[in-house]
Structure 1
Amino acid sequence: MNCTLRRRTALRRVATATVAVALGLSLSACGGIDRAVAEDGGPVSVKVGIIPIIDVAPLYLGVEQGFFEEENLEVEMESGQGGAAIVPGVLSEQYQFGFSNTASLLLSVSKGQGLQAVAAGAATTGESGEDFGAVVVPEDSRIKDAADLEGKRVAVNTLQNINTLTINQAVRAGGGDPSTIEYVELPFPDIAPAVAAGDVDAGQVVEPFVTVAEQQGNRQVTSNFAAADPLLMVGLYFTSDRYAQQHPEVVAAFTRAMEKSLAHARRDPEKARAILDEYTDIAPEVQKNIVLPDWPEKIGIGSVKRLALLMAKDGITESPPDTAKLLP
C-alpha cells in the first residue's frame, strides 16, 4: 500500500489508545516518526531527576520552547539530593530519566547497574581559561600551572570522580605526578573560602563558583576538563535499561526533544543564560559573567571512552568500564 495513503487512513481513525498505537506502527512502517503515547492516548508524563546547575539549562529551555510537547511528553524536573541520589532514583523509576556526570555513570555501569545514556548533557568548551570548570588558587599563590599541583592539597566536591580524574590528567600532561596530590572533599560553595583561608592550596570549582572565585581575587591555573580532553563529555542524560526496553518510543521521543533543546541552546546561548533565572539563585552580576558549557547535540563517544581509560589508570576501577553498556 502507498505510504501516504496509509498515513491518511490511519489519521482519520478515532484517537483511542489502541488506534494511537496502530497509527504509530503505520507511520514507522512508512519511515515516519512515532511520538510517545500514553495508554489513554494522551501525552506521556515523565520525571527527570536533575541537579539545579547550569549544565541542565537546555532541558528547561526545551520545555519552554515546546520541544517536548511536540513529542507528546509532559516533563517534570525534580531536583535530586546530588547526582548520587539520581542514579538509584532512575533505577527504581522514581525518575524515568536523569542527569549525571559521565564518570559517575561509568562507575555505576562497572558495578553492574543497568543504565543507558539517551542524550548528551554538557561538554567542555575546550578553551583553556574559558571553560565552565577550573582549578583556582589565590592570586599570590606560587602555583602557576597544573604541574605545580604536584604534592599540594586540592579541594574537590567528590573524591575519585570526574574532577580528580581530569585534574590528574592535566597534571600528567604538564609533566607532574598526580599521585602526590592530597585531595580534600568539600561542597562547591565551600571550596573558594577554603582556598582563601589557606586550608587547601587549590580548589576545583564549576560555574557559577569559578566566576565567584575570580571576583573574590582568585585566579585559574588550569581548565581541568579542557586539559583532559578538549571534547570532554562532562555530563549525560540517561535512563534505566529496563525502562528503555519497556518504553522505547518514550525514550526515542525524549532523545529527539533533548537533541533539539541542546541545538537551540548552542545556537542561542544567551537564551540558555536567561533561563537560569527559572531554576537557580545565581546573582545577576555573576550570571552575566559565567562561562556556559558547550552543549553538543550528540554524545561525544570518544571522550566517554577516554574517561573510562582514565578511571582504570587512576585505580577507580580495575579495568576500563565497558562503554558499550552505557552508550546507545
Structure 2
Amino acid sequence: MKKWFKVGFSVLVIAFLIIPLAACNNEEVQTVKIAEVTHSIFYAPQYVALEKGFFEEEGLNVELTTTPGGDKVMTALLSDGADIGLVGSETSIYVSTQGSDDPVINFAQLTQTDGTFLVSRDKIDNFSWDQLKGSTFLGQRKGGMPQMVGEFVLKKHGIDPQEDLELIQNIDFANISSAFASGTGDFVQLFEPQASVFEQEGRGHIVASFGTESGHVPYTTFMAKESFINDNKEAVEKFTRAIYKAQQWVESNSAKDVAEAIQPHFSDTDIELIEMVVDRYKSQGSFATNPVLDEEEWNNLQDIMDEAGELPARVDHGTLVNTEIAESVME
C-alpha cells in the first residue's frame, strides 16, 4: 500500500508540474498563418525572420503558405484561411472599394519598390527607353502592380503603351518567362531571379530597372482584416517587431550573408545567383528598412494605379493603413 502511494504521489507531482508548464507554453506561443502571393528572393527579410528565429523570439509560430495571385491571397484572408497576407497594397484598395464591413488593413511594409526588370532579347550597349517604340513588349498581367508600374514608367519616358508598341498582356504570370524564352517579344518585364538566369544563359539582357524608375511604393505589405488586428493586437505587434528586426539585419549585413541566411528557402537556386539578386535589390533600395508605410508612398501607389486606369476610387491613407503598430515596435 505504501509503495503504491509513493508511486501514485510521484505521478501526481509530475502531472501537476507538467500541466502548468504546458499551459504556460500554450499561452506564450501563438500560431500565425501567412499567405504570401509568391515565393521570391524579393521577400528576403521575411525568410531572414524565419531563419534567424526572430518570430520565435517573439513567441510566434509562423506557418507560411504560397498562395499565387493577389485575388487568392485576399480570398484566404477574407475566409479566415490565413491570418496575414503578404501581397501588393493595391489589393486592399480593390477590396475596400467593393464594400466591406471588415476592411483589410496594411500594417507592415516589406518591399518599397517595384521588383521587376526590363530584359532585352538583344544585347544593347547604350539603352534608351525610346528603343521600345515599335517593339513587341511582353508585359505583366493587367491590373497587377507589375503591369501598372510598367505602364507608368513607359509613359514617364513618353511612350504610349497602347500606340507606340505591341503590348502583350494575355499570358499568365507563371508562363511569361517561358513565352519569352520560346521567342515571344523583343522586351520582357521579369522578376528576379529569372531576369538574371536569362542573362547568364544568354537568352536576354537586363537593360533597366522598373523599381529605380518608379520610385518608392508600398509594393508588398503585410495586411490583415481589421477584426484580426483588433482581436490579436499583441500578436500583430510581435509579428511586426520580428519583421523590423529582419529588415535591420538585412540592411546591416552583406548580400552574401543574406543569401546564406535565406538559401534554405531556395534550395534549387545557386547561392551565387541568390547573392547576385539580393545585391541588386539592396543596391536599388527595394527592401524596406522599417515597416512603416507612409502617406507619400501610399499616394504614389494610387497615382500609378490611376495612370493605368485601374484605380476604382482614391482611399485616404488612414483608412487602410495602420502605422501605429510599426511605429511602436521601432521605439
TM-score bin (small chain): 0.7 to 0.9
Q: State the partner residue of 2:186.
A: 201
Query: Contact 1:49 / 1:98 at 8 angstroms: preserved in 2?
Result: yes
Distance (whole Å) between structure 2 residues aligned to residue 67 and residue 142 of structure 1: 44
Q: How does 1:1-328 map to 2 (within 5 A)?
A: 40-50=26-36, 51-113=38-100, 114-124=103-113, 132-139=115-122, 144-150=127-133, 152-180=135-163, 181=165, 182-188=167-173, 190-217=175-202, 218-229=204-215, 231-268=216-253, 269-280=255-266, 281-290=268-277, 291-292=280-281, 293-301=286-294, 302-328=296-322
Counterpart of 1:158 in 2: which secondary structure? coil
Q: Cα gap change, 1:143/1:197 in structure 2, threshold over 3 Å: closer, same or farther?
A: farther
CA distance in 2, matches of 1:147, 1:105: 34
| Mapped partners of 2:136, 2:47: distance in 1 | 37
Matches of 1:135 and 1:239, distance apart in 2: 32
Unaligned runs of at least 5 residues, structure 2: 1-18, 323-331
Aligned counterparts of 1:143 and 1:187: Cα–Cα separation in 2: 31
Q: CA deviation at 1:46?
A: 0.9
| Alpha-carbon spacing, 1:278–1:135, altered in 2? closer, same or farther (3 Å) | same
1:88-141 deviation line (CA, Å, top 9, x unaligned) = 1122222111101233333333333511112111133xxxxxx84211111257
The TM-score, its normalising length taken from structure 1, stands at 0.77
Note the alpha carbon deviations across 1:167-188, whole angstroms, 9 max, x for none. 1221122122233352324345
**Normalising by the residue count of structure 2, what TM-score does the alignment of the two structures yield?**
0.76
Partners of 1:147 and 1:172 within 8 A in 2 = no
User: Contact between 2:34 and 2:86, CA under 8 Å: does it hold in 1?
Assistant: yes
Distance 1:148 1:215, change over 3 A: same
SS in 1 for 2:28: coil
Query: Which residue identity lines up with residue 300 of structure 2 in the other structure?
Result: R
Counting aligned pairs with the same residue, the percent is 21
Separation in 2 of the partners of 1:199 and 1:228? 25
CA distance in 2, matches of 1:90, 1:215: 38
Query: Could you say if the C-alpha distance between residues 223 and 178 of structure 1 is closer, same or farther in structure 2, counting changes exceeding 3 Å?
Result: same
1:207 CA drift (Å): 0.7
| Cα distance in 2, alignment partners of residues 164 and 300 from structure 1 | 21
- 1:306 Cα shift? 0.6
**Please, which runs of 5 or more residues in structure 1 have no aligned partner?**
1-14, 21-36, 125-130
Equivalent-residue separation in structure 2 for 1:164 and 1:212 (angstroms): 21
Would the aligned equivalents of 1:156 and 1:204 in 2 still touch at CA under 8 Å?
Answer: yes
Letter in 1 for 2:138: A
Bigger drift between 280-289 and 210-219 goes to 280-289
Q: 1:90 to 1:211 in 2, by over 3 A?
A: same
Contact 1:160 1:316 survives alignment (8 Å): yes
* Matching residue's letter, 2:110: G
Contact 1:123 / 1:233 at 8 angstroms: preserved in 2? yes
Superposition CA RMSD, Å = 2.9
Structure 1 outlier segments of 4+, above 6 Å:
none
Structure 1 pair 64/306, CA: closer, same or farther in 2 (3 Å)? same
Q: 1:178 to 1:166 in 2, by over 3 A?
A: same
**Deviation digits for residues 28-60 of structure 1 (CA, Å, limit 9, x no counterpart):** xxxxxxxxx99x523111111122211332222
What number of residue pairs does the alignment pair up? 288
* Alpha carbons of structure 1 residues 157 and 176: separation in structure 2 relative to 1, 3 Å: closer
Whole-angstrom CA distance in 1 between matches of 2:30 and 2:52: 18
For residues 310 and 196 of structure 1, do their structure 2 counterparts lie closer, same or farther at Cα, with a shift above 3 Å needed? same
Structure 1: how far apart are the matches of 2:50 and 2:61? Answer: 9
SS at match of 1:289: helix
